[in-house]
Chains A and B, each alone.
Chain A
Amino acid sequence: MQDANSIESLEGASFEPLKVSDRLARKALRHTKERVIEALLFAAAGVSVLTTVGIVWVLVRESYHFFTVVPIWSFLTDTMWTPLFADAHYGILPLLAGTLTTSLVALVVAIPLGTTIAIYLSEFARPAVREAVKPFLELLGGIPSIVYGYFALVVVIPLLQLFIPGLPGFNMLGAGIVMGIAIIPYVSSLAEDAMRAVPMSMREGSYAMGGTKFQTAVRVVIPAALSGILSAYILGVSRAVGETMIVAVAAGMQPNFTMNPTEPAQTISAYIVQVALGDLPHGSIGYQSIFAAGLSLMVMTLLLNVAGHFVRRRYREAY
């Protein structure tokens, strides 16, 4: 009966149709508002684009001056990096080796641990446990990296020296391990997000077949979330490659051309810190070398991001 009443009342009400000109005026106003909002949003997006373009511009310009003095070929192939010596060499390879070695050590720590944590939090932990553990992980991600650096120097490396006799006080192993711990939160939280985004119906399919929690997690959820998990790893690599303070404090400051993690070495980012702290005159070739180093670092992370993009596309599952 209610329905009938409401229909009656609808019929009873009289609708004064708006004049066409009024309707158009409203539309024009709405149109202007939309345009203003759109312009504001565009400006906000533009800031990040402009910043990136500006940074690239500065890096390329300063590097260009650098490469007019140091040929790009010797920059890429020379195995010595001695910008502060009288006989200056500008070979990026030692710094690159240091960067890659510390990053590899970090990944060996962060990927297995981060993935395990993500699987636990997403598939096994009861909600109460998950809510209790996640803040700790976030806290781990919020610790300043200088603190991690000294943690490596005064806790982890002395500990490692108990097991590896003759391990120098600064080395890439200790720095890399602590760097790995520092990037666990990035890896685990992104990987967990990816796994939680897998629809419950897919898990139910596996459980309905008689799958255990572990079988469901490993055989169904991980393959379904693979693109997100790999993205998490690539973000971890990017963090590791760009990480500065831990390696500057704990890995030593000697540009050694070695991939042996038990030796001290310098990374690209640590070199930039060293020069930035030193008193090299502005405009000198040594000063400009940090732009070339920075550009190399940026190209590396750019390549990683591009790789990440393709990995995501390759492994994305449409569920």
Chain B
Amino acid sequence: MVGHIAMRSIDRPDGQAARPTLGSVAGASSALARDGRSLPDTPPIKAAAENFSFFYGQFQALKSITLPVYEKHVTALIGPSGCGKSTLLRACNRMHDLYPGNRYEGAIRLLPDNTNLLDPAVDPIEVRMRIGMVFQKPNPFPKSIYENVAYGLRIRGEKSRSVLDDRVEEALKGAALWAEVAHRLNEPAFALSGGQQQRLCIARCLATDPEVLLFDEPTSALDPIATASIEELIDQLRQKVTILIVTHNMQQAARVSDFTAYMYLGELIEFGETRQMFVNPVRPETEDYITGRFG
């Protein structure tokens, strides 16, 4: 166990399953207390990795990761290239199932129902219906703006035009895109700029009301202005949805996230409140990375 926060399993057999967050929060808090810091009021946990390991064939990309994701907060995964942060993110919606030779070990639990997302008995499509994902490069579908946002609803069988209209408008407003596209919903999505396309991809996710939103370096293909608008959007979204974001940009992690996890070579080195971690990291490795001495 490398992380300085020793989390206990949140899957408690002793009847506390109703509030499984307690154990972890207590664990996290006491660890912080041990380090002589103030105790944050940690919010309820929405999802958590428990001793989660991941293998690409023979290669172990993630080593026994235990990490909480707090509800309606932004958790950032940072670390140098190849540290496994994207692998961890993509495990959360079973994207690795699309490719042969990948193997999961341990669990990623989604609360409140405490479902292990990695359980082979759990349908990956179920998982993906609850957890939305925004990719590194905007990947709108070759459809109109409207149909892009309606896609998730359509594949869930929604046919009513009025319901679709309402949800599309709501989602586009939620993604701060409505004002720019309201008058041209039937134009192809590829006609939008890169930043608009990325917000369209966010709207596409919002339309189906996901419980968790995964962001995989969502601004690495965007210019600074588009990046700022996406960051502002993430800041607003945290009120409604739990967010897990992978970023290469430490300033971005510092700006948008409430909690940060620093990963290195497939291991979780440190997890904590972003403010504390950036000002006063516990582990020297984290400090080296954050201050730019390494990575």
Contact = CB atoms under 8 A, between A and B. Distances in A.
A222 to B, nearest CB: 9
* Best-buried of A201, A202, A205 by chain B (most CB within 10 Å): A205
Given A205-B135, A318-B190, A319-B190, A210 B201 contact: no
A132 interface: no
A220 B141 contact: yes
A204 interface: yes
Nearest to A222: B142
A212 B125 contact: yes
A206 interface: yes
A210 B152 contact: yes
B247 interface: no
Interface string B76-96: 000000000000000001010
A31 to B, nearest CB: 40
Contact of A204 (B98, B143, B152): B98
Interface string B95-124: 100101000000000000000000000000
B34 interface: no
B139 A202 contact: yes
Interface in A197-249: 199, 201-212, 215, 219-220, 223-224, 226
B246 interface: no
Contact of B135 (A204, A212, A317): A204
Interface residues of A, number: 24
B160 to A, nearest CB: 18
A205 B139 contact: yes
B156 to A, nearest CB: 7
Contact of A207 (B98, B204, B205, B208): B98
Contacts of B156: 210
Given A202-B141, A209-B152, A223-B142, A317 B190 contact: yes
A210 B190 contact: no
B143 to A, nearest CB: 7
B143 A223 contact: yes
A209 B128 contact: yes
* Best-buried of B95, B151, B201, B208 by chain A (most CB within 10 Å): B151
Interface in B124-161: 125-126, 128-129, 132-133, 135, 137, 139-143, 151-152, 154-156
B95 A208 contact: yes
A209 B139 CA distance: 12
Interface string B180-211: 00000000001000000000010011001000
Contacts of B100: 126-127
A73 B120 CA distance: 72
Contacts of B132: 208-209
A123 to B, nearest CB: 11
A300 to B, nearest CB: 31
Nearest to B99: A200
Nearest to A212: B125
Nearest to A201: B139
Contacts of A220: 141-142
Contacts of B204: 205, 209
Contacts of B151: 206, 209, 211, 219
B141 A208 contact: no
Interface in B195-232: 201, 204-205, 208
A153 B152 CA distance: 51
A126 to B, nearest CB: 8
B135 A201 contact: yes
Contacts of B143: 223
Contacts of A204: 95, 98, 135, 139
Nearest to A215: B155
Given A201-B137, A204-B135, A205-B135, A317 B95 contact: no
A16 B13 CA distance: 78
Contact of A224 (B142, B155, B201): B142
Contact of B95 (A207, A210, A224, A318): A207
A126 B99 CA distance: 10
A214 to B, nearest CB: 10
9 contacts: A203-B98, A204-B98, A205-B135, A206-B141, A210-B155, A211-B128, A224-B142, A317-B142, A319-B142
Given A204-B139, A219-B151, 8 more contacts: A202-B139, A204-B135, A205-B204, A207-B98, A208-B95, A210-B129, A210-B152, A220-B141
Interface of A: 126-127, 199, 201-212, 215, 219-220, 223-224, 226, 317-319
- The 6 A-B residue pairs whose C-beta atoms are closest, nearest first, are A210-B129, A208-B133, A205-B139, A210-B128, A317-B142, A224-B142
